């Protein structure tokens, strides 16, 4: 019987090639979109789950409740104190952020950005695969270093490099104690070199003096296997950690939160966090989009199947007359649906294989279609079968319910219920399409807003060079050379970039300050050229002068700092404040500028005098960029010959800060277009069916004098009302969803009515364009042909 079902199903598909093609293509596109989004979502949700016992590992984050500031870092002494005092904690590990340093092996020399320090038990807590060496002891030697397979091949051409030496920063030699496989992409920790924390502890003040109020280190704990993973247990641990901290540092009002390892990638928007984290909201958005697109594809199938019911009515009647019962007929129609679904899956796999490289580029992923992956293939097959059964269920029930006596007399009509069902399907399809058009428009506008918003400084043409090696020790010579060159005269030295985490402190005091208040002040160190190079505006006072020593007692603050201190602008300049216990005089108030991503509000900030390095910033001259780069390379090689010349641009870095939003926009565009294409395929098939059903009506109207335009309008207008209803449904849904998304930005566009109007007319235009071919064909047909049998 099943064999017969399949044979009849294939025969019917071949008999109605046009509609079969539309059904298969629509369902294939739906499966393709769902599979691609599913692969992307699965990758986002898989972060850090490759570690053994990942569900017992947590990162300790810190919070300043007053400012609602959350940071990913803690102080150095906290980790050993937790290990000694909390029995539920099996192990504790500290890591540093990533450092950029010069690595040299023989004549091969590069500045590497992926150098990290970690405690000796790092590789016992985290499961990174060792290719060479012993993970238990690899970080015990302070002069040891663990490198990735990629770096081993880059510098030595082989992974057999144990006991070989690497030189760092032209002065320190380290022995390779381990080689690990390249860090997986789905790890929030990305590094190429790991050095023992014990080496850093020799010179770092945080370790030497047990500094509790300096938050610079990422701290991870692993709970014992007996410790309960309940919410109440986690709260108790957080309270214990806070008690340990308060016992050792009573000044700073800070609380601690344990963040599960598997949630770090998607739920991290913290101060001083590691780069490259994702966004849980985007994951949820795309999960909803995947479901919507698959629903649209299923509805297409159901709509077209029921619309073609008239052609199958006599077949059903004859089958019932010769003894077929309803379950047999339902089985036949479900078999047809499954055949279409399986053919769609085969086409979808081909499409996925072809478009996956493009999708990876858009989504910033490295996904692959592995046909040997049982989990992936089984999931796709399962989705396809479920889709086929769901899509075929209503047509099977509908078609198998025909009464033989009625349909064999030729009295079949789809009736009001059939028309209502088809209109309801069109409404749902275009609700999804309009919602996606609205979402795409809002994401695009927000991206444009981010790119064009006034940051408070001029980001264009700002080239920067890291101050490495001997640059800072030869600072005066560097300044003299730069000042004497026409191409580089507009320069400044700054401690941090607008795109990187600036320092922050609560150690700011002023007259009238509430003793219980601890606002967080951000700080960046600048020089006398900052105002001219960055083109910031001073609302009162002035910037620093040439005498760095004289300026050591001065300070510049921003407008938000004045608001935080409740200090009037007119009396700010000349006022005294204490920073880190040292009295400073405010000499200038700078207009607020945004040195943070636009997801965050501008906070209180002070600008210190730069005396320790950071970056050289040069405002390049128009049309002389290449000459400027060449001149800077020449200067840097004179000043700092041991280091390679590296440069970048601030505007490019700012654009890179919003890569996640750019990817969201690109993916939204693609899936919105595909959802519309799927809807249009169904609409085209439906319009062809309706035009065929109304052939005689069109003939009569034409004989009675109706113009071609009137007939085209009559057929096309059939779909106007469902689209209007779809718009009414889509407006509140998309408004709510996109409002929630925009809440993630401190500065964002507003959602106005024109967006919904654009979406409505776009959907209407697309729908009319889709049905116009069949409408024009029906309107221009010879009425004699349609009426000759009457």
The string of pLDDT tens digits covering residues 19-50 is 778 788 888 988 898 899 989 999 999 999 99
Same domain, 642 and 680: no
Q: Report the mean per-residue pLDDT for the chain.
A: 85
Q: Is residue 207 part of a domain?
A: yes
Quote the percentage of the chain above a pLDDT of 90.
42
User: What are 459-471's pLDDT values in tens digits?
Assistant: 999 999 999 888 8
pLDDT at res. 653: 87
Same domain, 647 and 773: no
DSSP string, 230-251: -HHHHHHHHHHHHHHHHHH--S
Q: How far is residue 332's CA from residue 2's CA, in Å, rounded to a whole number?
A: 8
Instruction: Tokens 């221009």: give the residue.
Output: 780
Q: Is residue 398 part of a domain?
A: yes
Output 488 or 177, whichever has higher pLDDT.
177
Provide mean pLDDT across the span 213-217: 91
pLDDT at res. 664: 82
Find the DSSP H helices in 463-566: 475-484, 530-534, 559-564
For residue 130, CA distances in Å to 114, 157, 302 come to: 18, 18, 54
Please tell me whether residue 317 adopts helix, strand or coil conformation: helix
Find the DSSP H helices in 209-325: 231-248, 280-307, 309-321
Quick count: other Cβ atoms within 10 Å of Cβ 202? 9
Closest CA to 335 of 377, 254, 395: 395
Q: Is residue 268 part of a domain?
A: no
Q: Is the pLDDT of residue 9 over 60?
A: yes
User: What are 737-768's pLDDT values in tens digits?
Assistant: 899 888 888 888 899 888 999 888 888 888 88
Same domain, 515 and 644: yes
Provide mean pLDDT across the span 484-501: 86
User: What are 255-274's pLDDT values in tens digits?
Assistant: 999 999 999 999 988 888 88
Q: Is residue 666 part of a domain?
A: yes
Q: Say how far residue 598 (Cα) sits from the centre of its chain.
A: 15
pLDDT at res. 573: 94
| Boundaries of domain holding 697 | 425-449+657-790
Provide mean pLDDT across the span 505-513: 89
Q: Is the pLDDT of residue 782 over 90?
A: no
- Most confident range (mean pLDDT) of 28-42, 125-139, 694-708 is 125-139
Same domain, 43 and 66: no
Q: Is the pLDDT of residue 682 over 80?
A: no
Q: Is the pLDDT of residue 779 over 80?
A: no
Domain total for the chain? 4
pLDDT at res. 704: 67
Same domain, 723 and 775: yes
Domain endpoint, select from 239, 263, 287 = 263
Same domain, 255 and 122: yes
Same domain, 381 and 491: no
Same domain, 101 and 213: yes
Please compute Rg for the chain using Cα positions.
34
Domain endpoint, select from 223, 239, 263 = 263
Same domain, 549 and 604: yes
Domain endpoint, select from 608, 631, 656 = 656
Q: Is residue 270 part of a domain?
A: no
Provide mean pLDDT across the span 586-601: 87
Same domain, 142 and 230: yes
Output 626 or 8, whichever has higher pLDDT.
626
Q: How far is residue 353's CA from residue 357's CA, in Å, rounded to a whole number?
A: 8
Output 137 or 789, whichever has higher pLDDT.
137
Q: Is residue 274 part of a domain?
A: no
Q: Is the pLDDT of residue 324 over 70?
A: no
Q: Is residue 537 part of a domain?
A: yes
CB under 8 A, 24+ apart: contacts of 635-639: 635/478, 635/481, 635/482, 635/485, 635/488, 636/465, 636/471, 638/481, 639/470, 639/471, 639/474, 639/477, 639/478, 639/481
For residue 172, CA distances in Å to 113, 137, 165, 199, 790 come to: 17, 21, 10, 11, 99
This prediction's pTM: 0.85
Same domain, 642 and 682: no
- pLDDT band at 380, cuts 50/70/90? confident
Greatest CA span in the chain, whole angstroms? Answer: 106
Same domain, 651 and 666: no
Q: Is residue 484 part of a domain?
A: yes
Q: Are residues 601 and 271 in contact, defined by beta-carbon separation less than 8 angstroms?
A: no
């Amino acid at each position: 019987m099943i064999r017969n079902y399949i044979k009849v199903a294939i025969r019917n598909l071949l008999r109605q090639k046009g509609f079969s093609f539309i059904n298969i293509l629509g369902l294939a596109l739906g499966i393709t979109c769902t599979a691609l989004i599913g692969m992307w979502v699965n990758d986002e949700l898989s972060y850090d789950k490759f570690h053994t016992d990942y569900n017992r590992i947590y990162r300790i984050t810190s919070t300043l409740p007053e400012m609602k500031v959350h940071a990913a870092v803690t102080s150095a002494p906290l980790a050993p104190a937790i290990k000694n005092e909390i029995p539920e904690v099996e192990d504790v590990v500290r890591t540093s952020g990533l450092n950029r340093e010069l690595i040299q092996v023989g004549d091969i020399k590069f500045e590497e950005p992926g150098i990290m320090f970690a405690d000796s038990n790092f590789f016992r807590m985290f499961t990174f695969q060792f290719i060479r060496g012993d993970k238990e002891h690899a970080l015990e030697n302070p002069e040891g270093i663990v490198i990735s397979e990629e770096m081993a091949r880059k510098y030595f051409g082989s992974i057999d490099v144990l006991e070989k030496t690497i030189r760092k920063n032209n002065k320190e030699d380290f022995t390779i104690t381990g080689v690990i496989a390249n860090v997986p992409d789905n790890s929030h920790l990305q590094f190429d070199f790991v050095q023992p924390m014990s080496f850093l502890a020799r010179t770092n003040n945080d370790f030497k003096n047990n500094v509790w109020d300096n938050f610079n280190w990422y701290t991870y704990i692993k709970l014992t296997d007996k410790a309960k993973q309940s919410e109440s247990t986690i709260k108790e641990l957080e309270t214990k950690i806070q008690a340990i901290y308060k016992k050792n540092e009573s000044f700073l009002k800070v609380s601690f939160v344990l963040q599960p390892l598997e949630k770090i990638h998607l739920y991290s928007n913290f101060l001083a966090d590691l780069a490259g984290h994702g966004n849980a909201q985007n994951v949820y958005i795309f999960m909803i989009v995947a479901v919507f697109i698959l629903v649209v594809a299923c509805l297409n199938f159901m709509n077209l199947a029921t619309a073609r019911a008239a052609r199958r009515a006599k077949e059903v009647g004859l089958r019932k007359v010769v003894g077929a019962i309803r379950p047999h007929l339902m089985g036949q129609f479900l078999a047809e649906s499954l055949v279409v679904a399986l053919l769609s899956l085969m086409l979808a796999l081909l499409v996925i294989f072809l478009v996956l490289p493009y999708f990876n580029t858009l989504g910033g992923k490295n996904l692959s279609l592995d046909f040997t992956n049982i989990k992936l293939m089984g999931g796709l097959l399962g989705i396809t079968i479920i889709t086929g059964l769901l899509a075929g269920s209503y047509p099977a029930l509908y078609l198998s319910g025909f009464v033989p006596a009625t349909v064999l007399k030729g009295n079949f009509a789809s009736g009001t219920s059939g028309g209502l069902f088809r209109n309801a399907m069109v409404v749902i399809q275009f609700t999804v399409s309009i919602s996606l058009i609205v979402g795409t428009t809002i994401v695009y506008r927000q991206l444009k807003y981010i790119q064009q918003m006034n940051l408070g400084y001029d980001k264009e043409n700002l080239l920067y060079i890291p101050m490495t090696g001997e640059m800072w020790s030869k600072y005066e010579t560097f300044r003299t050379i730069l000042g004497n060159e026409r191409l580089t005269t507009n320069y400044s030295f700054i401690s941090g970039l607008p795109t990187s985490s600036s320092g922050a402190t609560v150690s700011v005091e002023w007259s009238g300050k509430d003793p219980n208040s601890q606002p967080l002040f951000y700080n960046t160190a600048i020089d006398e050229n900052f105002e001219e190079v960055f083109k910031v505006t001073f609302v009162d006072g002035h910037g620093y002068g040439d005498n760095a020593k004289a300026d050591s007692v001065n300070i510049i603050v921003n407008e938000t700092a004045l608001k935080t201190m409740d200090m009037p602008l007119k009396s700010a300049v000349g006022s005294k404040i204490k920073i880190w216990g040292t009295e400073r005089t405010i000499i200038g108030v700078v207009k607020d500028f945004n040195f943070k991503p636009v997801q965050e509000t501008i906070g209180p900030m002070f600008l210190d005098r730069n005396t320790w390095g950071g970056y050289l910033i040069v405002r390049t001259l128009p049309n002389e960029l290449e000459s400027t780069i060449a001149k800077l390379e020449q200067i840097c090689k004179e000043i700092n010959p041991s280091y390679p010349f590296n440069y970048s641009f601030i505007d490019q870095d700012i654009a890179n800060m919003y890569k996640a939003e750019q990817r969201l926009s690109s993916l939204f565009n693609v899936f919105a277009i595909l959802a519309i294409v799927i809807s249009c395929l169904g609409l085209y098939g439906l319009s062809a069916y309706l035009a065929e059903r109304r052939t005689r009506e069109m003939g009569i109207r034409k004989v009675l004098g109706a113009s071609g335009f009137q007939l085209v309008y009559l057929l096309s207008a059939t779909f106007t009302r469902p689209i209007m209803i779809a718009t009414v449904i889509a407006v509140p849904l998309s408004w709510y969803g996109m409002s929630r998304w925009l809440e993630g930005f401190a500065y964002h566009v507003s959602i106005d009515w024109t967006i919904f109007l654009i979406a409505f007319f776009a959907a209407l235009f697309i729908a009319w364009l889709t049905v116009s071919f069949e409408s024009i064909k029906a309107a221009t047909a010879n009425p004699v042909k349609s009426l000759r049998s009457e």
